[in-house]
Amino acid sequence: MPVKKCACSQLQSERAKFQPVLPNILKKGPAFVKPKFGKPTKSVADQATVKKIFPNTYGLPAVTFVKGNNQALCKKAVRVGVVLSGGQAPGGHNVIGGLLDGLKKANAKNKLFGFLGGPSGIVDNKLVEITPAGMKDYRNTGGFDLIQSGRTKIETAEQLAAAKNNLLKNKIDALVVVGGDDSNTNACVIAEYLKQKKVDIAVIGVPKTIDGDLKNEHIETSFGFDTATKIYAELVGNIERDMNSARKYWHFVRLMGRSASHITLEVAFKTHPNAVLIGEEVLAKKMTLSQVVNQLVDLIVKRAKAGKNYGIVLVPEGLIEFIPEMKELISTLNDALADNEAALAKLNTLAEKKEFILRKLPKKLADLMQSLPPAIAGQLMLDRDPHGNVQVSLIETEKLLVDMIKTRLAELKKQGKYMGKFAAITHFFGYEGRCGVPSTFDANYTYALGYNAAVLALNKCTGYLSSIKKLTNKAQDWVAGGVPLTMMMNIERRKGKEKPVIKKALVELKGKPFAYLSKVRATWATQDQFVFPGPIQFFGPAAVTDITTVTLQLEAGKKVK
């Protein structure tokens, strides 16, 4: 099955001419670098349990690539498979391009195969060879359409056996899994399984998620975060400009980010909204839904007294899961839905299922669920994703906040404590950012991640995640290496069971980015210091085209405007 050629826009035709910059250590090719191994590592938590689950891949040392003669590993031609797993993120095609180029640089006879439709392509043995000619029209483009993606998890004995057999059947020497925390957890499961079966196939991960929650000391950011936040920031900036012109609406903007508020925080840095809700802060303060609403109501009343019946509020997609009472409800619902799956399948309507589940909940949680607007309560009952997570993108938290704010303002108006006008418009920005044309940073970063994954594969570094560090430096000065997947693991409850998963990196309330927000948010609330960032700049001075996220700059200790 040949790779389908994509149609090119004028921008894409020009963007195809862009040649990503590799870190200097990788420029001469895989034959001229060697892995330098550090000390043995351990998981971030639950060490004994994680080690028991991954006895063959636990405790691996971190890897840094250094100069060295490694031409021997390039003599034998190899066959490498690549799979895109989970949601799309800008730059996925450049990962594949970098992987292909790294393999071909080592040995022109090396071959790269893409498994189609995500991990199910491995189980179903659906793959296509990716050639330089077929790759040509996809370089520096958004999307995952070259080989598509999927959310299948390879975890059952049957799936793992099928994956092993198909990898062997196609004589695959290494498998590269491009995905987020759940997908790379699955990559570690596959790596461990192959080790147990004494199958010499390396499994390497690549950190992908626009949510920005796959990071640590070795993974400074996941790819796609830079581009997606720039796209969202342009949209929010456009709304701010319209609002600043009309001065009569409150805009509530929900931004993608299921389990962490990194996107919302970064977009806030880029646009300076009047209010920004950070889920991790709400959780730490143990705020109730009513307290979150009252906080916003206080701001609306304060601005109304100053003659400003307008404003903009940024809301993280996963906010509802950070509110402790809602978090408890969702967690209990997850278990109740999993435990009663067969019984629920026999019920026909959502109302019947809701009534059934209410009887399974503790009274305080049943009362909380019944107090929610019917639409929100219904959305909480929706099917979970393949990883057992509530589909928070389908829960319209921004509309819930607006409804509750309207009710509270009406009460204050009756008491003579609010004389303003409140007209609200809601927005949700999610899919708009996942397949954008990658920024220069992401184009460079993803290409380097893919090329680096090729070097890891050639060195048989199984159970590792491709790591490119020092990202606030120029691309040629980035540091290449790998981090053991088990190092990022902990044990979490999923679908009613304890499972090993890569721990999500949340917004650190003691970290530099949040500390910066704490200093400026009061000024943003009342003084309207809106920023209109405009579209991503692909051409122009490096100070504009190559700029990294504010989050990265702050974490690196750099000053921001």
How many C-beta neighbours within 10 Å does residue 7 have? Answer: 6
Q: Would you state the structure tokens that stand for residue 322, as one six-digit string?
A: 């950070």
Residue 224, CB-side half-sphere exposure with 13 Å CA sphere: 35
Residue of 119, 95, 131, 134 lying closest to 4 (CA atoms): 134
Residue 300 backbone dihedrals phi, psi, to 5 degrees = -60, -45
Among the listed residues 137, 173, 211, 213, the single catalytic one is 211
Q: Would you state the structure tokens that stand for residue 439, as one six-digit string?
A: 């920024």
Contact 485, 184 (CB under 8 A): yes
**Residue that has been written with the tokens 């790269």 in this structure:** 112
**Across 75-227, where does the E strand assignment appear?**
79-85, 111-115, 127-130, 149-150, 174-179, 202-207
**Rounded to whole angstroms, how far apart are CA atoms 396 and 379?**
8
The amino acid at 474:
K
C-alpha 462 chain-centroid distance: 23
**Across 198-276, where does the E strand assignment appear?**
202-207, 250-255, 275-276
List all residues 6 or more positions away from 458 whose beta carbon is below 8 Å from its beta carbon.
Answer: 30, 73, 74, 78, 102, 103, 106, 174
**Rounded to whole angstroms, how far apart are CA atoms 232 and 432?**
8
C-alpha triplet 218, 18, 221: angle, nearest 5°: 20
Q: Which residues make beta-bridge pairs with 429?
A: 255
Contact 312, 253 (CB under 8 A): yes
Q: Is 171 left (phi over 0), alpha (psi -120 to 50) or beta?
A: left
Residue 46 among the catalytic residues: no
C-alpha triplet 502, 503, 504: angle, nearest 5°: 115
Express the helix, strand and coil content of the chain in percent, nearest 5 each: 45, 15, 35
* Length of the chain measured in residues: 561
**Residue that has been written with the tokens 């189980």 in this structure:** 123
Residue positions annotated with a catalytic role: 211
